[in-house]
Structure 1
Amino acid sequence: MAIINFIKDYERVARFRLGKFEGMMGPGIVIAIPIVHSIQKIDTRITVLDIPRQANITKDNASIEIDFLVYLRVVLEDAEKAILEVEDYTAAVVGLATTTLRAVIGDITLDDVLSQRDRINELIRTRLDGETERWGIKVTNVEIREIDPPRDIQEAMNR
């Protein structure tokens, strides 16, 4: 008895035969024989990762919290890397994004963080994309949603 899988245009399937990688398949019909084959689906559409709010310290030792999004997709030609090179690529990207944010913010003063959001987005995107490329992942965009400076600075800005 075989299991018939219908793979959509935006999906690919990694098929394993007795644990050995056979290749990427789809779109269309992919047949898997239970016990002999196992499959793992992967979506090649853009995915949005909501990175949890991060406490960061700027170059001038100001403590700020930043909330941001990472937009990514699995590169069609390298989809097998997202399965074979990293166990959970979304968790890996979240971890990498948090450390990359800390590194970028640590090199910038608070004034620059507050005034150069687009530049910071591009710096983070470029660094992330360089690292995730070996996993078959393309980071298409990074978007800082919110920057919360310390209370005393917020009060001074409101005056």
Structure 2
Amino acid sequence: MCIPCCFCINNSEAGVIETCGKFSSLAPPGFNIVFAPWQTVVGKVSYRVQQLDVRVETKTLDNVFITAVVSIQYQVLKEKVYEAFYSLTNPAQQITAHVYDVMRSQLPTLELDAVFEAKEELAVAVKTALQGTMSRFGFQILQALITDLDPDQRVKQAMNEINASKRMKFAVAEQAEGQKILQVKSAEAEAESKYLSGVGVAKQRRAIVDGLRGSIVDFSAGVEGTSAKDVMDLLLLSQYFDMLRDTAGQPNCKTVFVPSTKSMGDEMRMSLMQSDASK
């Protein structure tokens, strides 16, 4: 007498039923009945998307060892549940083998810098190779992603130092250019300042000469019996007393007066002549 056996299948799954050891049917999600002992549920197949992370260590064209992490997202095809259940003992191991084969044949042809730029091409190559193989066994490859590329720590440190050196070189060049601009602008400002200072001194001397000329003419015309020499002596004496007043007004001034047998005007003219001769 056959005794019915009840069981339930979760949603997005299918139960595999065998009769006397031979595949009989698939049990859909929900409530199901089998007739024991001839019929048994030997397993379940999930329709959900699964992910397998594969770590591959190999070397590049420039002999740098690198570890790549490849994430494979796959799913069982509903119309090929039989193949997915009976064809492969370990689908994850099969997928891992194909990923190893593709990555260890592609990475040694690329240099380290090119590997980081060829992530998309590597992912496409892995997906293409898996689709051609796993579809026969009832699996659909949804996506292949290169989620990590990790070279040796010393290699990463060397790459960072190279990048830092390049940036430091640019920084030094920019700093030197900035100092050059500052020095050029400072020299231009100094030249302009000296030019304007010379113009000012020339105008000052011209004004002094014009003033002296006018003073001599006015004094000679106003005072009878005076000569140009008398006027110059008076002007020199006035300037001498102005110098004494300004010098005495300094807080730390120490002045020594030396008596002379010559006239003050002669001494001043002599000192001016000696000063001009020394120049």
Q: TM-score, normalised by structure 2?
A: 0.52
Q: 1:41 and 2:47 equivalent?
A: no
Identify if the C-alpha distance between structure 1 residues 18 and 104 changes in structure 2 by more than 3 Å, giving closer, same or farther: farther
Q: CA deviation at 1:67?
A: 1.6
CA distance in 2, matches of 1:108, 1:23: 49
Structure of higher RCO (CA pairs closer than 8 Å, 6+ residues apart): 1
Amino acid at match of 1:50: D
Do the aligned partners of 1:23 and 1:80 also contact (CA within 8 Å) in 2?
Answer: no
- 1:56: which partner in 2? 58
Moved more, 113-122 or 74-83: 113-122
Do the aligned partners of 2:62 and 2:111 also contact (CA within 8 Å) in 1?
Answer: yes
2:63 is paired with a residue of what secondary structure?
coil
CA distance in 2, matches of 1:29, 1:89: 28
Do the aligned partners of 1:100 and 1:128 also contact (CA within 8 Å) in 2?
Answer: no
Amino acid at match of 2:133: E
Do the aligned partners of 1:6 and 1:29 also contact (CA within 8 Å) in 2?
Answer: yes
Larger radius of gyration: 2
Where in structure 2 are there 5+ consecutive unaligned residues?
162-279
Q: CA deviation at 1:34?
A: 4.3
CA distance in 2, matches of 1:80, 1:37: 17
* Offset from partner CA, 1:80-105 (integer Å, 9 cap, x none): 10111111222322233233322232
CA distance in 1, matches of 2:110, 2:64: 10
Q: Which of 99, 102, 116 is equivalent to 1:100?
A: 102
Identify if the C-alpha distance between structure 1 residues 120 and 15 changes in structure 2 by more than 3 Å, giving closer, same or farther: same
How many pairs align?
Answer: 158
CA distance in 1, matches of 2:80, 2:15: 12
Q: If each structure's strand is expressed as a fraction of its own residues, which one has the higher value?
A: 1
CA distance in 2, matches of 1:78, 1:55: 33
Q: If each structure's helix is expressed as a fraction of its own residues, which one has the higher value?
A: 2
- 1:130: which partner in 2? 132
Counterpart mapping for 1:1-159 below 5 A: 1-39=3-41, 40-51=43-54, 53-159=55-161
1:2 is paired with a residue of what secondary structure?
strand
Identity of aligned residues (%): 22
Amino acid at match of 1:122: V
CA distance in 2, matches of 1:96, 1:132: 10
